A = this chain, B = another copy of it.
Amino acid sequence: MITVREAEHIINQHSITLESESVSIDQAGGRILKEPIRADRDFPPFDRVTMDGIALKYEGAEKSGSRFKIAGVQAAGSPPFNLTVHGEAIEVMTGAVLPGGSDTVVPYELITIDQTPEKTATLQTTPEKGQNVHKKGSDRLQGEVIVTAGAILGPPEIGIAATVGMARLQVIKPPAVAIISTGDELVPVDRTPLPHQIRSSNAATLAQALDQWHIKAEQFHIVDDLQGTTGKLEELLQSFQVLVMSGGVSKGKFDYVPQALEQLGVKKHFHRIRQRPGKPFWFGSHPSGILVFAFPGNPVSSFMCFNRYLKPWLNKQMGIPATDFQAMLAEDVNFAPDLTYLAQVKISMDLGVALAHPVEGHGSGDLANLVDADGFMELPQGKDQFLAGSLYTVYPYRNLRF
Contact = CB atoms under 8 A, between A and B. Distances in A.
Copies of chain A in the complex: 2
Given A75-B254, A140-B368, A328 B303 contact: no
Given A185-B95, A196-B77, A208-B154, A134 B399 contact: no
B208 A155 contact: yes
A233 to B, nearest CB: 19
A276 to B, nearest CB: 12
B391 A351 contact: yes
Question: Which secondary structure characterizes the binding site on chain A?
Answer: loop
Contact of A201 (B50, B93, B97, B162): B162
A184 B242 CA distance: 50
A189 B25 contact: yes
A194 B97 CA distance: 11
Contact of A76 (B158, B183, B370): B183
Interface residues of A, number: 121
Nearest to A389: B352
A261 interface: no
B208 A158 contact: yes
A258 interface: no
A107 B251 CA distance: 9
Interface of A: 25-26, 29, 39, 43-46, 48, 50, 52, 73, 75-80, 91, 93-97, 107-109, 134, 138-140, 146-147, 151-167, 183-186, 189-209, 211, 224, 247, 250-255, 297-299, 303, 323-328, 349, 351-355, 361-371, 391, 394-402
